[in-house]
Structure formats: structure tokens, C-alpha cells
Amino acid sequence: MPDKIALLDLTYAQLRDLLKSWGEPPFRADQVWGWLYRSLVSDFDQMRNLPKELRTRLDEAAYLQTLTPLAESVSADGLTRKVLFALQDGETIESVFMRYERRRTVCVSTQVGCPVGCPFCATGQSGFRRNLTAGEIVEQVLYFARQLMGDKGKGEKDTGEGISNVVLMGMGEPLLNYEATWQAIETLNEAKGFGLGARRITLSTVGVVPGIRRLSREQLQVGLAVSLHAPTDRLRNKLVPLNRRYPLHRLMAACRDYAQETGRRITFEYALMEGINDSLEQAQRLGRLLQGLTCHVNLIPLNPTVESPYQPSSHKAALAFRRELERQKIPTTMRVGRGVDIQAGCGQLRGKRE
């Protein structure tokens, strides 16, 4: 469909301008936007309050779906579901749906592969192919939202349960695809459509300093999570190669400025790896690094890749690490491990299929 418009790639203003150029009245943009992001339809014929001529023209000039499910894995407890999608150019990406007691969270990808190359991450080891478009990012959320509606995208009555949170923590580095990522966030937040509150959206970065500084100037109050994984440059250079470009002193300065400018708390993600970054001394170093910063540490049980030398820390070591951070008055939680039995870690299902 090279000559057609990917409708989900359009902002509301761009959709309005497109319909205006076709001679349509302004309210048509609200109608189409509502069908896309409230009713979650996947076919123009389902937009029942549009004139048939407009539906036909939309079908001839644009398309809605760019993702095709290739494979799906569901955890034994039924609470985590990972889907491998094919894109129109044959590339593949992963998305994960996680059900918690009060939350229904979708973890989305922002790139095909990842240019950062973290050695403990399956995506990082697969290389980088390309950035996703805003529509490709948004459509991952819409896919699971349709499933929760129970109508497979046919625009039937909502069951009352929808997506409550979105985390940009899948394949890729969101801040290296800033424009498309931010447009996707604005689309999901747009009150006329999906209407997801900004504070229910969290963007995760390995520490792209210019992106963090740019994010601090945005109006929407999305959450920021920084994948830290090491308290020293020497270790972080190995675990997060981008640290060579943006070492800890630059990253932490950007984080402190972000917290001061926005008044928002930063989450630092720390994947505990046995014998690599889980010692008591490293916990002490991490505590000192974060002193005085409005933050929260999320300790993550590593989701190991097959035959990887990086393995999750023992429960005993993880608890000792958390106790040391708490002793230093650093707010800390241990993330509940999800989807280990279905290889729900970033890039694992894609790597298995390839």
C-alpha cells in the first residue's frame, strides 16, 4: 500500500486538514478520530455515522492496520501475554500485555531492534533495523485494547475494562526515536480519542541525555524511568554501552535537572544480575549516587536469555540489596517477575522465531 496513507500515523490536526482538503466539514475529524481511538474499529465500514462516499474514499486513500500477529505466548497464570507482530515491510516487533490487580498495562516497542546493544538484552543483541512510526507504536496499544473490549475490533459495546497504563519499555530506545514516540504519546493522551492520562504513561530510557533534557520541557506529565543497572562507569560501560557517550556524571546531572524542572520523581530501573551488579558494596555505591534526588529504585528480576552468562540474582542477594538501599533512605521496590515461562523479556520471542 505504498500510495495509501497510514491513518494512525496522522495527528488529529493532520487528520482534520486531510478531511478539510476533501471538502468535509470540521466535525468529521472528531467522528473519525472517535471511531479510531474510542470505538477502536479496524475497518472503515464500521464507521457507521459517516456517509458511504466518505467511507469509500477513506478506504481508497488510507489504511488502518499495519501489524499482523505472528505468534502469541501466554504465561501459565494467564496474566501475561506476549505477541510477535509482523510489520508491512516484513520486520517484526514484540508487545506485552500484563494484568495486575488494579492495572492493565501494555509494554510497547518503539524501534525494530535496538542500537544500544546491552549484552544482557535479547533485543540489544539482535541489532538495529529501523525506527517505528507513531502509528506503529499506537497500534500495539490498540490491539490489546480491542482484545479487552472483547470485540476483536468490530466496534461493539465496551465491557468496561480497558488499558490503564502504557509503558514504552519494549524493543528499542524511545529517546532515539523521539518524534514518533512523542507523537504516539500525544495520540494516546488526546481527550477526543483514547484519553489515556499522561501520568499513566511511562517512558523508559537507558540514559539519552539530550532526550531527557528535551523531555523535561514537554507539557505532558509522563513518567520517566531510567535503566541504570550499574552504580559505576566501569561496570555500566559494559552493561549499557551508551554510557561511554553519556557517562554517569552527565546522566545524573540531567536527571537532577529534570526532577528540579518538572517536580516529578524519576524511577531508576536496576536489573539484578548474579555476581555482576548485586553485591552489598554496589548497593552502597548506588545509594550514594542517588542521594538527594527525588527518585525511586525499581529492582528487577532479570529475565534471562537462553545460554546467557547473565543470570538473575538469588532471592537472598536481592533482599540484601534492597535492605541496603532502604537503609540509605532510597525508596525501593522489587518488581514482580512476569512472563519468565514465556520468555517475556524484551526481544526473546522475536529471537526465538528468527
Model confidence at 160, pLDDT cuts 50, 70, 90, reads low
According to DSSP, the β-strands at 223-227 and 128-131 are unpaired
Residue-level pLDDT at 341? 54
CA distances from 313 to 33, 195, 220, 271, 319 (A): 47, 39, 36, 9, 10
Count the helix, strand and coil residues of the chain and give each as a percent rounded to the nearest 5. 40, 20, 40
The mean pLDDT value for 120-147 works out to 94
- pLDDT, averaged across the chain: 92
Specify the amino acid at residue 151. Answer: D
94, 136, 139, 269: which one is catalytic?
A: 94
Instruction: Answer yes or no: 186 catalytic.
Output: no
Give yes or no for a contact between 244 and 237, defined as CB atoms under 8 angstroms apart: yes
CA distances from 60 to 4, 12, 41, 101, 194 (A): 8, 20, 17, 43, 25
Please give the model's pTM, rounded to 2 decimal places: 0.92
Q: Is 70 exceeded by the pLDDT of residue 339?
A: no
- Which domains, ranges and CATH numbers included, belong to the chain? 5-63 (1.10.150.530), 68-353 (3.20.20.70)
According to DSSP, the β-strands at 62-63 and 223-227 are unpaired
Q: Is 70 exceeded by the pLDDT of residue 327?
A: yes
**pLDDT tens per residue across span 274-310:** 999 999 999 999 999 999 999 999 999 888 776 788 9
According to DSSP, the β-strands at 104-107 and 165-168 are parallel
For residue 20, the SS3 value is helix
Residue entry with cell 535503566: 227
Residue entry with cell 555476581: 275
Model confidence at 153, pLDDT cuts 50, 70, 90, reads very low
**pLDDT tens per residue across span 233-282:** 999 999 999 999 999 999 999 999 999 999 999 999 999 999 999 999 99
Model confidence at 126, pLDDT cuts 50, 70, 90, reads confident
Dig out the grid coordinates for 333 from the structure: 521496590
**pLDDT tens per residue across span 171-206:** 999 999 999 999 999 999 999 999 999 999 999 999
Whole-angstrom distance, CA of residue 259 vs CA of residue 352: 39
Whole-angstrom distance, CA of residue 137 vs CA of residue 109: 7
Dig out the grid coordinates for 34 from the structure: 472517535
The mean pLDDT value for 33-58 works out to 96
Instruction: Answer yes or no: 60 catalytic.
Output: no
For residue 71, the SS3 value is strand
Q: State phi, psi for 343 to the nearest 5 degrees.
A: 50, 55
Whole-angstrom distance, CA of residue 142 vs CA of residue 145: 5
107, 121, 295, 346: which one is catalytic?
A: 346
The mean pLDDT value for 13-18 works out to 98
For residue 298, the SS3 value is strand
DSSP code of residue 292:
T
According to DSSP, the β-strands at 80-86 and 68-74 are antiparallel
The mean pLDDT value for 131-139 works out to 98
Give the range among 52-56, 122-126, 148-152, 346-350 with minimum mean pLDDT.
346-350
Model confidence at 2, pLDDT cuts 50, 70, 90, reads low
